[in-house]
Chains A and B, each alone.
Chain A
Amino acid sequence: MGGPSWLAWTFASVVLVVAAYCLTRLLASWRQRRPSDRRVDGIHVLMGVAMAGMLVPRLRVFWTGGWEVVFGIGTLWFAWLAIREFRGRPTAGGRPGHHLQHVLACGAMLYMFLAADTVAKARGSAMSGMAAGAAHLPTLALVLAFALFGYVIWTADRLSSLAPVAALAARVTPVPMFAEATAGGSASFGAAGGEGGDNGQVPPSRGQQVPPSQARRVPLSPRLAACCEIAMGVTMGYALILML
């Protein structure tokens, strides 16, 4: 069972926009050294491209079997991070249980590729996107869809507790940073402040010059990151429902 082509294109466009945005987050995070969960942004780029190809065969960019390897590794990697987290070794940028969401998402992607390949082989023809219809283990597809929707709802519930970037920027006290102030003379907005930095640093007092390595920078929008997770989750749930 496949959806109408315009609908597949719409969902593919959504995930491609999310992938493009996450790519810009990666670049901004790297160039401006602004805090962001690069692993999650990176996996969203991959998921967006993979899912677009799954929904619209014309958008495929990878060889057969390639995505299975990518998401197999992704599943194991995020599972390892989740285990570390539960053992009491917090990983950067993660709330409790944060990585489980990505274990689930990578696992769902892996399932979809494996199930789609199985169906295509069974039918002896190339898989036409999601249009090949019901996959093996449809019950697992439904369980994964339930779990993904659960995470989407959980993420949406937390959305309003995430501060917008403007508030985050306002929260930190602008401090002229030592290196940039002496080199370029421009007052950077790198900003330090807050009670206790992310890394447990002692916060500088207002106006105190700090080296760039200790300066706190405004994180990339956590709300938009959460919205990306919601969009990815809904689209992935749609793809799983198509496999029933």
Chain B
Amino acid sequence: MASQAADARARAGWLPGWRRSIGAAGEESWTVPDVRRRLQLVLAGIWLLDGVLQFQAFMFSKGFSQLLGATAAGNPAVIANPINWSAKIIADHPTATNAIFALIQVALGLGIAWRPARKLALGASVVWALAVWWLGEGLGGVLNGAASPVNGAPGAVIIYALLAVLLWPGRQDRAAPFIAGRFTGANVARVLWLVLWGSLAYLALLPATRAPKALGGMVAGMASGEPGWLFSLDDHLGAFLTSNGPAMSVVLAIVLALVAVSVFLPWPAARAGVVLAIAAAAFLWLAEGLGGLLAGGATDPNSGPLLALLALAFWPLASAAWSAAGQPKPAAATQSATSEGA
């Protein structure tokens, strides 16, 4: 079989370079994605969703540029001026700019999924995410006092960049007790986790969340335009938080702080921390009204799914599993290219 494949490669020698390299890959059997690759594919799916959401009618209107421009309010001039500048460009050319934005995000999703382009796409996604975090989300409202874990702070898009770095397919993986540490190393990954979840805990104690009726108002505000079941859920949750807002913000801060430190704890506690992180992400996503996806006009699913994906990347592995860090297992079930049919 190997000689046959080599023969085929030799026969395909007239192909241009890039096609030859793809062809060579095609001669190999398909490798079942390892855990990191699966997480990359989920990230790719979310980018693809973002790209298609960007094709909604509202994004081609002036309203979209006004939405972006509004994020400049309350930020320092050095942050706000570029936001106003880019919002003006988008307002002047809404159709062209939005079509480009949508295509970029679709390309990022498909690029991460297409194996030969995954590094390029992951790298580009970091650059794109940082640009959107600044020019599209006003740094997630971190500097203007509007940030709250319930409204997507510190900005969903910055978590895309963080995930791209932590899931980067390095040439040589480091031994780490979780997938997220294989490229950066376990300690760097833990610190990044601590900073993210710690900042969420801190934001939960700021007036934007802790003030009476602030939390309840935010959640109830998300209910508008949602289908019945989600409207009802957010409406009830909002009513509960309106009467218990300050206490619940403290509870939320404690939970988020526990999650933040959990990755430094021994194996069973770390695993419990990750489960708690997934539960917190699910709660935040419901409180965010599923990112407004069902109300129309959402540009992304907001921070909930990304926090859950990040948590999965920190799932503690058994020691036997992480000693052979990141080596993809040979496919248990491989198929030849010809049997792919369609």
Contact = CB atoms under 8 A, between A and B. Distances in A.
Contacts of B31: 161
A95 B339 contact: yes
Interface string A1-33: 111100100000000000000000000000000
A164 B22 contact: yes
A244 B294 contact: yes
Given A153-B48, A160-B22, A198 B337 contact: no
Contacts of A138: 227, 294
A134 B296 contact: yes
B336 to A, nearest CB: 8
A238 B102 CA distance: 12
A139 interface: yes
Contact of B335 (A41, A95, A134, A238): A95
Given A2-B57, A154-B41, A160 B342 contact: no
B115 A157 contact: yes
Contact of A153 (B30, B44, B56): B44
B26 A157 contact: no
A229 B342 contact: yes
Contact of A244 (B48, B55, B106, B296): B296
- Which secondary structure dominates where chain A touches chain B? helix
Interface residues on B, range: 35 or more
Contacts of B9: 167
A114 interface: no
Contacts of B229: 139
A98 B342 contact: yes
A177 interface: no
A225 interface: yes
Nearest to A133: B296
A226 to B, nearest CB: 7
A166 B23 contact: yes
A91 B303 CA distance: 42
Given A95-B335, A98-B342, A161 B30 contact: yes
A242 B58 CA distance: 11
Contacts of A3: 55-57, 60
B341 A37 contact: yes
8 contacts: A142-B294, A146-B49, A154-B113, A160-B26, A161-B28, A164-B23, A164-B26, A167-B23
Contact of B19 (A95, A149, A164, A222): A164
Interface string B328-339: 000001010111
A210 interface: no
B115 A160 contact: yes
B294 A4 contact: no
Contacts of A149: 45, 48-49, 52, 109
Interface of A: 1-4, 7, 35-37, 40-41, 92-96, 98, 134, 138-139, 142, 145-146, 149-150, 152-154, 156-164, 166-168, 170-171, 194-195, 198, 219, 222, 225-226, 229-230, 234, 237-238, 241-242, 244
B141 to A, nearest CB: 25
Contacts of A198: 338-339
Contacts of A35: 338, 341
A237 B50 CA distance: 11
Interface in B73-110: 95, 99, 106, 109-110
B25 A160 contact: yes
A194 B3 CA distance: 11
B170 interface: no
B16 to A, nearest CB: 10
A98 B49 CA distance: 22
A92 B341 contact: yes
A1 to B, nearest CB: 5
B114 to A, nearest CB: 5
Interface in B276-325: 293-296
Nearest to B292: A244
A153 B11 contact: no
